Amino acid sequence: MPLAITRQVSRRFAECEITHIERTPINLEIARAQHLQYSKTLANLGCQVVELPEEASLPDSVFVEDTAVVLPELAVITRPGADSRKPETESIIQALSPYRALVRIMAPANMDGGDVLVLGKRIYVGLSTRTNQAAIDQMQEYLSEYGYVAQGIEFGDCLHLKSAVTGVDDHTLLINKNWVSSSPFGDYELIDIDPSETFAANCLPIGGAIVFPSAFSKTHKKLEARGFKVVTVDVSELAKAEGAVTCCSLIVDD
């Protein structure tokens, strides 16, 4: 049974970091209700959900994906690019240490987990305002003995690489080609988002299904047309903080 580590929404969530969208008012209670439903969805899909308590002083801490990259052999604890987020990793170290050996990205490197797309032994890392080449170099040094190859790629107009492209399964990617070139992904089947749904490239495959935002019905239909089972969640309030479905969990496979 896969483990899904989540964290409750901080009471200071409305003070979150914003980079590529306009700040709009956030309703904390709605955000918490949506996050609860997200966690229930993961449980319904067969995950053992471990929900960490809120970090009241850390507004973005619900987005646990950015604090670690979990692989079968070990987990890489990141060093988030925003200084306000660097303290988030300490509780994640405690949460992950029973399940994986841990290594850490160290200064001057910065890395957000949302920039890291793991596809088998290939790891694509978005070079962004939050992730730099030094972090990719450190990750490669840690992981080369396990056969991984970490490759930096450019993208634009969004916060993280996984806002632009995510894995649907081992052979298929969901992609917004306006934000990232398809050329690094020539070995994969590509599903283009509907052009009217700019933020629709973020999906989370779990338990034979694809967890996907309910806001993007046209891209949803594209996924279903390709034979994928889609389970929708409303993350509209979390999206006001540049969050999406991969952001809110760390998945630890058996």
Residues designated as active site: 160, 247
Distance of CA 182 to the CA centre of its chain: 19
Is the peptide bond prior to 108 cis by the omega test (within 30 degrees of 0)?
Answer: yes
Name the nearest CA neighbour of 218 among 196, 199, 248, 245: 196
Cα 60 from Cα 67, distance rounded (Å):
11
Query: Is 52 buried (19+), middle (13-18) or exposed (0-12) by CB count in 10 A?
Result: middle
| Torsion sign across C-alpha atoms 222, 228, 234, 239 | negative
Tokens of 144: 């080369």
Please count the other Cβ atoms lying within 10 Å of the Cβ belonging to residue 54.
Answer: 17
Nearest by Cα to 241 from 91, 11, 22, 3: 22
